[in-house]
Structure 1
């Protein structure tokens, strides 16, 4: 299961924790679809610092249940020394609605990862074909920031998959250093104002 899930929570600090679980470590959520739209309660003002993930899928996961909105999240000075699937994963789909804004990751060190940063706006898992889309609402994503991150190896440094109907806005990736890149360096679709500064890697293996 996940390490810790925040659900429509406000003003929290997580610090000096070790996470060792079978799924994501720190996850920010805000309800799913119609019920969360009714409650209209965002998850906001959360700081995660000085934590270590020993095993898990994602160091910081946003969503995919974000229908009430998520904003003002700051993770800094954390480590994932072994391996994770994703260091920083923002995920939603066309049923969620809501918003994601002002999410920061800074000063993070990691061993191996599939993606250092990924944004995916079409994550539906097993419900894609099992449950129909009763109402389409696209998530507004504005302000995703990554700074001073090192990773020993990754399949890709970043992959940003926005929605053509409402592109992701203002993604900044800077001072990211990866040792070995195994599949590709980056892919960006449907993103407005993606800024990359000082993103480097030692070698690309294909």
Structure 2
């Protein structure tokens, strides 16, 4: 079994809450759930199946939701001792915040509800059905512009633009070349098995 990056989902949730406060923004619980869902999906894609946090997302009528966090945040921010997530998780969380953090909770809900992982889970089991990590990886890890798998059933009003690819979400790190010129770098990832691009 592969190790999960963060010890608890609270570590990630409160990292996002504090990141929003750094930008003088109150992070609504619904928005927090959508950002965490996207972080879990893109982290799994980036690490080939490793979870960012020990969390299970379900298809709630309002959008993807983590039930444990929902219960814990019902009466406001809970007092929980947290630990900073590992650096690679923080880098991805920062990228998620920069890519999606400016959007409203309503926009992120509409966006994620229109994507196949949520649509398929909701169509197959209704409210409370688990959105599997594999379904998240299959959709968010596909090449942008490629045709996603067909949803098991349409949901009224659940059309959304397709999700950006991993390289559009991950903020590249800036390092310096030997001449001092700033260059963007990303972690090298081998191509998936079966990728038949020319060498």
- Structure number, greater radius of gyration: 2
The structure carrying a bigger helix percent of its residues is: 2
TM bracket, shorter-chain basis? under 0.3
Asked which structure has the greater RCO (Cα within 8 Å, sep 6+), the reply is 2
Larger fraction in strand: 1
TM-score by length of 2: 0.26
